[in-house]
Structures are given as C-alpha cells and as structure tokens.
Structure 1
C-alpha cells in the first residue's frame, strides 16, 4: 500500500468520483436566486485522517463519510486554528484566529475575552435564519456551555452525559484511566449512548417542515476519549491485527525544548509503554471512529430523506486531529501534522446553483483552515461577512479545486507558538524563537527538522515573514494543563542529558527496588536494578545511556520505571545524541 502522504498527494486536485469509479456530475456555478439555502454544520470531535477516503489508516472503516465524499468537495489539506477543543471551536464559530482573539486554551472563556464578537449562528439568526444545535458544538463543559451559548439557538440539545464515566464508574479496560484514557463497551443499549441521542434529536428536527431557512449545528462527541462504542464496532478491529502508526524512537531529538515539553506534559506515552497497549489503543480509536461514522450515516440519511435535502449545504469538519504514537505523542495539543490536520467536506446540492453545486467527488489539495468556514457560508448564503473574520471564503475552491490559492494554513498552540502549513512545508516557530521545518515532499511523516539546514534558509525566511505580526497577550501558566486547569507534575530526571543520568527515588522504609529503562514502545533496553535491597531515604541509581550489552543508545526519549513491591513510578529521560 502506498504511504499515506503519497496517497493524499495523489488525490490533490483530482475528481474523487473518478477514483471511485463514478462519473462526476457537472454544473455551471451561478449566483443563487431561489430561497436562501439551509446549512447543516456537522462536527465530529477529535477525528484525524483515519477515514477511508483520506487514507490515514489502511483499516479505517468509514463507509458513510466515504459516501459523502462522492458528492462533496473534499479538502485534503485542511487545518485547525488551535489543536484543542474549546479554542478551536471558538475560532471556527467566530472566524477569529487565536492570535486575534486571545482565546488560546480552555482556561480562557470567550465571554470575557471577546464579549462583542459576532458568532456564526447568531449572524445567521440576525439575518432571518432559525438556529438549532444538537450535541457538542462549542466546548461541552459548564464553563463554556450553558448559559454562555443558549442565546445563540432557537432550539438546543446540550450533549448528554457520558453513558459511562471512567473517573466515577471505573475504567472498562482494566487499567488506570489517566485523563479519560479508557476504552470498551459500556453496559447500556446503543440507544442510551450520548451521540445516538443527539442524532435522534437532530433527525426529529430535520423531519419537521420549517417556515424559515435554518442554520443547524450538530456535533458528535466521539471519537473523543474515552473511546466507548458498542461491541460490534470493536469486533471489527482485533488488537492483534491492527496496523500501528510508523514511528521512530529518536523522533524528538531534533525538536526544540518547547516542542517536546508539549509531549512530556502528558503521561499517556508512559501508560501505553508500561502496559504494552499500543495495539489495543489503536484498535479502540478505530472502533470509535467506525461508531461515529455510523452515527454520521444516520444523520446524513435523515437529511436525504427530509424535505430539506435539495436546499441544504452540508459542512462536515473536526476541531483538530489526534496523535496515536506519532512524534511519540498521544494527544492533540501540539503543532505537528497529526494534531492540526482535519477532515473537511463541503456538499452543495446541485439545485442551489452555487459554487460547488453538483461537483460531487472533487478534491482540493489547497491549504485551508477552519476560520475559512465562516466567510464561506456567508458567501454561499448571500450574507455579509463580519470584519472580524480572519479567514477567506472557500467558494473559489468549490468552483475550481485547483484555483490559485497562495495562502498557508496557520495553527497556534498557546501564546506565540505558531505553525504554518503550505502544500509542501510545515514551519513551526515557538515563543522562544526556536524552530522546526519539515519538507513533506521528502519527509511526509515529519521526522527530520531542517530548520537549520542552509539549503532551506530561503524557505524558512519566507515562511517566518508570514507569521502573525501581533499576538493578543493573556496570562498563561506553563505548568497548568491548558485543557483541564490541573497543575502538571512532571517527573523528568534529567532533561536532557548527554552523560550519565541520575535517577532519584525516596523510600520510607527499607525495601527491594527494581529500576528498568524502556523505549517509548515498551522495549526493555537496560536493567539498572533488579530487586536490589535499598535502605530508607533518598536513593539513586545511574544510567550511562547504554543498553544491557554496553552499546550506546541513540538519542531520544526513554522511560525509566522504578518499582517496589508496593509502588510504581515512570520517569522520562531524554538523551541527546
């Protein structure tokens, strides 16, 4: 099978219907003269490119999204503004990038930061549209949901509670549920799942005749963690048979300090390595994507059977991507490809005679952003676009997917950390001035940082000049989790080192201690202590960066597990080459 990035490149600027054995329909784009079109604005949380037509994973099972692609414009280089739920959704719903709004993380509420901003739904409402919202549209917490957003909607179903909460009910996979890192099948009928209830509500609303055009925002919570889905979807992906992402163990060696600090904030990498569950986690993510696709199919079929099918523009998007081991990361919250790249489909019915009408199956490889959706929808629906919008209408690309578009996609993670993505390059600059540059033509998995290579000096300078000239300043605590607000207790001994590393541990009483060094994939490389007795107090062992055979190990991230009969701790050690 071709490499995933090669697969995507081969799709850019083509007609997907041809690739699927379908004859593309054609329609001349013309100004819309009929009734105002409806909008179904449909988000799927935390889904990356593991979708059949995107080729992100060879075992992805998404027949409904694949079917949607056959009658839509699919954007293969679409990117989020922020790789985190709340700020990404604020950027999408206001058209304002975070450097313009100051909404960088989940700690920053839009009500206080940008109280006068015009929101997408409210803009449509003020121009005569009925507004509806079902499920996760904005962020789903009490602080950022009701009562903050209820004024936007004529009808709203807030996301139902989890059918199973690992923090309250215990994990389903039998392991400690770190930050919701759990998966399995809750003991509940499918009809009780939150996303199923959301789609039921949406289907009921779509089946009803409406006297005004509508802006209908619908949002699925899955495949967001925890990865819960009915058993039939897990049965599609036996863990022993899943294909794991291709990674290298020294991937972070050429990444600046801020970049790999984004990785070390979270403990899921250690969790996966310690318990040997990489294949189980990948299978669970695939299963939850298949479940989300099933719910998407229910919703799209309901629209097709409704009286609104021929007059409703459909946009399907995600708020950000997700890493499953790539760059040794198990999160979003980073500026690399897997965290920032999203699926994006825009379907314009042929009867509307608008840009993109009747051009099902076409693919655009231009670099676009979520903030482009606000001006796109106002453009298609004949509404004025607020001056606050940082994005650009995608209507020219709906009419011609290869239209000129000399505009990189910008993603931002926390204050003054930016990434620019062109059709060939990804450039990252952190707030301390350190940089990453990846050439996707030769390095599609972003393994080699060439920011300091003289052959790329002109490219680096050209991209740097396109970064934001000003970032709205807000107070951000680097030791607070930007998603949950929790204080992060990092145990990294030491970071980084090119010589012997001293691993410290405190014992309250004499006991036997085992100290083992693993790669991030769980392969043991060095036994530093094997049940050795230690006296009480502060104790240490040293590691010289070699394996059990005495060979020097390559630079990269390693995990040191310290165990006693009663305790277990995992620490990170980054070796410099």
Structure 2
C-alpha cells in the first residue's frame, strides 16, 4: 500500500553561532552591529523562538588564556638522578636528549624535589606507545601523602607525545618532596617535565569563539568563560512584550580560586536608563548552575543591551561560566521533537513488533499505533557510543571513525542538537551513561542542557523525571529532546515487580541439582558460569524492557509530548541465544543490528507499518523535516520516502561496521556477509584471521552459526564485491578526535611551543588496501 507524503510545514530560520556562522557573527559584533545573531529571524506568535546571544567585552580587551610556565625539569643524562628503574634485564639510558626506559614491560622514575607549589598542570613530554601504554603520576607531600594525578590528554605530536596531567586542587602549600612517574606497557623516553599555572579562564571556552559545552558535575550547558572584573555585553535585539531574557552561570571546581562572595551581576541598559536586573550567587552549592529569567516587557520596542560582570572579594583573579544566554520569544503552541534511544534494545522486543516474543510494552505499542512502525531498521554498528555518534550526526562509523566507547568526537562535528539549536530551538539531552556525555564521547555537544551521571547508570525513572522537569521549565520554547535509557543493557536487573512478570521467583536459576549448561567459556558473562536454568537471563531482559516502557509511559502522556513529534529507537540489539556470544552484543549479526523504530506526530500517518529495510542514520534528517526545518544543515534522507516505494521494489542493502573496526557486514535479500578487517580472537572460533569471510542464510540460520561461503561462492563474490566497494567510498570527513583531545587544547599546546606536527592518524587510513581484490580474499578462505 502506498501513502502520500505529508505536506511540508514552512521552515523557520533563526540565529546560530557555530562553525563558519560564528565568524560572521564575530565580525558584525566588532562593528557594533550584531553580537548575538540575526535580527531577521522569523518569530511567529504560535511556535515561539529562542534567540541565542553572544556577549562581547566592553573594552578592546581579549583576556589571556595562556598559562605560565613555573618550572621545566630536563631529563638528566645520568638515569640515577631520577632513580630510573625498569622491569626485566634492560637498563635505563640517556640518548637523543631523552631518558629512555627500553623494556617492553615499562618502568618508573622518581623526580626529586623540592617541587614548589603554585602549579595546577604537569606536562610530560617524550616518546610513548600511545593507547597501548599507561602512564601514572603522583606527587609526594612533605608529610608523605601521595597525590595521584590522572592523564587528561595524550597527544601524538611529531616525534614526541605530550601527556597532560591536571592538578587543580593540591592539598598543600608546602613544597612536594618528589614526583613519581610509573610507565607500563612498552618502552618510552622522557625529554622533560613542565609545571604550569593555568588561569581560571583557561578552563572555559573563550569569549572570542563560539559557545562551547561546559560540564559541572552531572550537568552541562553551552557558554563561555567570563574572567573576573571583565564586563561583557550584547544587544538584546527586537524586544517584544512577551520576550524574556534567560541566562545561567556556574563555576568549575578546577577553576575556582580562593575568593569570597562570587557573584554574577546582570544589567540592562539603553538610552537614558540602566537597570540592575539580577545577581546570581555562585557560592551556592545546591545546584551546579544558577538560573536567571528577566521579563523584558518594560523594554518592549526599545533598543537595549544586557551586560554581565563577574565579581568576587579576593586578590586572585578567577572566572565563571556564563551559559545559556538567550532571549525567549514565547509561543502559545511551541513545537516539540523527542528522540528516545533505548540502549541494547532488540528489534523484536516490542509487543507491536509481532515477532512472537512474550513481552509487554503497552506504552510503546500505543505510540506505534498513532504513528509509523518500521519493521526492518538496522543500526550502523554494535557499540553504544559509535552508534549514537552516527544517529546524532547522520554520519556512518565507516566515515566518522568513532569506533569505541572511549573515543571522542571533534568539537567541529555537527550534531542534531546543534542543527535544531541553529533554527532557534531549545535543546535538551539526558543520557544515562557517562561515556555519552561531555566527559566521554561528547555526542551531546551543542545541547543547551545536558544531564549525564558520573556513576552507575540510573534506572529509567530518574532520567524520565529529569526530562519532565526540564520540559516544564521550557514552557513557551520550541524544544528538541534526546533521552537515552540504559535499562535493557546487561546486567539485567529489573525491579522485582517486572522480573516477576516473566520469572517465577520460586525457581532458583542456579539450582545445583539441575544439569549445567554446555555453553563455551567466553561466550557468556562469567557470573553465569553456574547457571542451570538458561532461560532466566532472557526473562530478566524482558522485565527490563517492560519496566522502561512503563516509565516512558509517564513521559509519553505529557501534553506537549502527545502533541509533539516522537521517535523511538535503539543503538543496537543484543544476543540472547547466540552461538558466538550470549547476553552481550559483541557479534555483528542481525541480533545485534536489528533495532526498533517508531515515529509518531502530526505530520506522520497513523497506524502504518513499513516492511522495507530502512537506514537508522536517516532519523535526524526525518525529525528536522517533520519539524518544518527543511533548510537545516544535516545529512540524510526523509524516512517517509518509503511510503512512496513500490511494494515489489528490491530491499536496500544494509552495511554495518563492527566494534573497533574489527569487521564489516552486508545484509541483503535475507543473506548476511561478514568480512574480517582485523585479526581477532573469539571464544568459539579461536583466532579469526584477516580477510576471513562468512556467509549466512538468514531464513535458515538467523543466528549466523553456519558459514556457507564455500557452498555459495558466486553469491559470496557478489556480496563481497558490494561490501568492498562500500568500504572504499567516503562521503564525510572523520569526526573522531585524538583520544581525549579538543581543538582548544591543541591550540594551547601549540602556543606554548609544543610540537603539533600530528603524524598520520588511524582515522585517515583506508579500510582496504588499494591493491586488494575480491579474488585475493577468496583465495585466502579455507
């Protein structure tokens, strides 16, 4: 059955300070014309709009963010001076102006004191083995107390690397007796150790750049660093009777100085008036950010500016975060777009999927009834951060190169949150694992408000309540929300009420009187070694799914959500009864790639099921289009195009990339092909060699346990040719950063004289050698 695509809603345009656009804003601000966006933005009485502001200093002054070098200790020519020791038979030596620890096992150094306090960052420069190595530092106080420091940044720079250790709050004002350096995992050579004092403002995005993400505790917001005693301002633009000024401020722990009564003073001024409209007490510790809202009705029709001044009573200069600075033109019917990603949620674990799974999901079933249910949606990978990076940027991991949960996106990556923000929408992200937040992969960059836990992922109740709170606070604003839930991820620990729905509590899953399972060690979590009732974990998994459905029901009943646009999907699936693995998602199979997708809203036809294979990367483009933002800068195609497809048209092939780039897959016409891109050891198969190929008939072998490449050589060649051609394509530049490194940090190191001649990065290497052919791979097969 074919359906007509809904009539487009006229797009709205608003100001933005990101990428190339912020350069134009900066130039206009310097001329005194505009410092906070375009005045040509369409407002409209209905939807409302958020007009973001960009403050500029009153004086012709750019605060210095450069640190001061306190001391540099060159590596001594005599290894005994730094008490160099190594494991094994090798001995430390000095060469090429470096103190070399030649053993593959590593070694240690003790740099003698006294080391005078006054520094808050240590940089160790030398030659290391990158991510294969672990380098730990610790300072020893005069009282014998050990202060461990954690490396924040590891830069591969030219012939050297710079390891950066922040020490914002040292516990003593007395000299340290020594610095201990422990190196594990390979040979290394240290050239020198630097001790720096960074100004408080250097911990924040600078005022002469776009707003950046500032994380304080579990929350993050968009803004800049405001140095103490520097007054900044910006024009408020066209003020209407319903306009409201919004702003917030906070202080990073690492940037706090020894002061009293830190506060942010806010003034609105114009021709013949100057009003103090607020003062935020930044000494308060009840919340990481303090918020301000000012009704601008009295200034309607006037030309006015808002100014900010950070002050505190002390001699040592500090800085604060000035965040979420905007003018809200409230609307009576502001739109809402909500993206929900359920971590590790299999595509068959919804009641409305109708795939024979005994699972109750009434809230999501109802959502599917009032919108579209996509039966064949596939993730681009089987890992949480890489998959979310793909969903939130529209860029496949093949090109983006975010392949693990520990890698970080570059600041320049353009996210779905930034695309909405550019169009005058308020943006909210609530995620339930640290590595999706600002301190991890940084996928939530560009969102006005971000919540990410620092500890264990919470149950769905907590993030749902956080979204509801922030949604209520965003009354009158068009808002885009990304909500991530972790409940369906291992270990499965649903509340007892939901566990009881699928498991009789009187049955002991580890009953020793029952025969043991015959699973191969390494294919299941170690805690299940003595499991006897093998259906128990899957029952708990269903309990988790039903629990999160119940919590989502509260959010989906919110009046704004009921009237808004909602998408529900997952980052990847889960192996519950796999052959190579169980109760995880290590394998690259339909079990880990098939995910749910529901789309509902006024512009979406009701009760429609789409049988065609669809690409999850198109979710962002679809949400923007259905929000009326057809002009928004974002890749992808509208998923509603599948409503126009002929029923007999062939299914689109689907490509995926495995964790760490170990393998790649092609799924087409109920066949699944796997190609090994890196040698890998698997519990059941042993060592899987480079370029190993496996082919699986999904109609007969949905768990991908039988390799048919020998029997189906013609099909294998054809699919392999398609997969290799896809791997050799490139549609986008990589969005992965050097590990834990931002562009600002690189610029700071460059300004300090450190080498920034970055060597060839892994992200630039092709997936396949140029000379490799299909026949080369086929000849390698056993």
TM-score by length of 2: 0.45
Distance in 2, Cα, partners of 1:279 & 1:441 = 24
Matched, 1:287 2:580: no
Distance in 1, Cα, partners of 2:434 & 2:647 = 32
Q: 1:118 aligns with which of 391, 414, 423?
A: 414
Distance in 2, Cα, partners of 1:96 & 1:283 = 35
Distance in 1, Cα, partners of 2:631 & 2:407 = 28
Distance in 2, Cα, partners of 1:274 & 1:31 = 58
Match of 2:719 in 1: 460
Q: 1:412 aligns with which of 635, 657, 674?
A: 657
Q: Is the 8 A contact 1:362 1:401 kept in 2?
A: no
Offset at 1:59? Answer: 1.5
- State the secondary structure of the residue aligned to 2:552: helix
- State the secondary structure of the residue aligned to 1:268: coil
* Deviation sequence 1:173-215 (CA, Å, 0-9, x none): xxxxxxxxxxxxxxxxxxxx64212112222334456333211
Counterparts of 1:100-499 in structure 2, within 5 Å, are 100-111=399-410, 115-136=411-432, 139-140=435-436, 143-144=439-440, 148=442, 152-159=446-453, 161-162=455-456, 194-207=459-472, 210-238=475-503, 266=522, 268=524, 271-302=527-558, 305-306=559-560, 309-310=562-563, 312-330=564-582, 331-349=584-602, 354=603, 357=604, 359-380=605-626, 381-384=628-631, 386=633, 389=635, 391-398=636-643, 402=647, 407-413=652-658, 414-415=660-661, 417-431=663-677, 432-452=690-710, 453-454=712-713, 456-457=715-716, 459-461=718-720, 463-469=722-728
Offset at 1:91? Answer: 1.1
Q: Is the 8 A contact 1:321 1:342 kept in 2?
A: yes
**Cα distance change, pair 277–333 in 1 and its aligned pair in 2 (3 A):** same
**Cα distance change, pair 348–292 in 1 and its aligned pair in 2 (3 A):** same
Give 1 or 2: higher strand fraction: 2
Distance in 1, Cα, partners of 2:469 & 2:589 = 39
Match of 1:47 in 2: 345
Offset at 1:86? Answer: 0.9
Distance in 2, Cα, partners of 1:433 & 1:151 = 36
- State the secondary structure of the residue aligned to 1:410: strand
- State the secondary structure of the residue aligned to 2:621: helix
Q: Is the 8 A contact 1:451 1:460 kept in 2?
A: no
Q: Is the 8 A contact 1:89 1:137 kept in 2?
A: no
- State the secondary structure of the residue aligned to 1:139: helix
Distance in 2, Cα, partners of 1:348 & 1:42 = 14
Unaligned runs of 5+ in 1: 1-12, 15-25, 164-192, 252-262, 477-576
Match of 2:373 in 1: 74
Counterparts of 1:534-549 in structure 2, within 5 Å, are none
**Cα distance change, pair 149–447 in 1 and its aligned pair in 2 (3 A):** closer
**Cα distance change, pair 399–385 in 1 and its aligned pair in 2 (3 A):** farther
Q: Is the 8 A contact 2:673 2:695 kept in 1?
A: yes
Q: Is the 8 A contact 1:41 1:315 kept in 2?
A: yes
CA RMSD of superposed structures (Å): 3.7
Offset at 1:371? Answer: 1.4
Offset at 1:269? Answer: 5.3
Q: Which has the higher contact order (CA 8 A, sep 6+)?
A: 1
TM-score by length of 1: 0.60
Offset at 1:400? Answer: 5.9
Matched, 1:29 2:281: no
Offset at 1:344? Answer: 0.7
Give 1 or 2: higher helix fraction: 1
Distance in 2, Cα, partners of 1:65 & 1:327 = 30
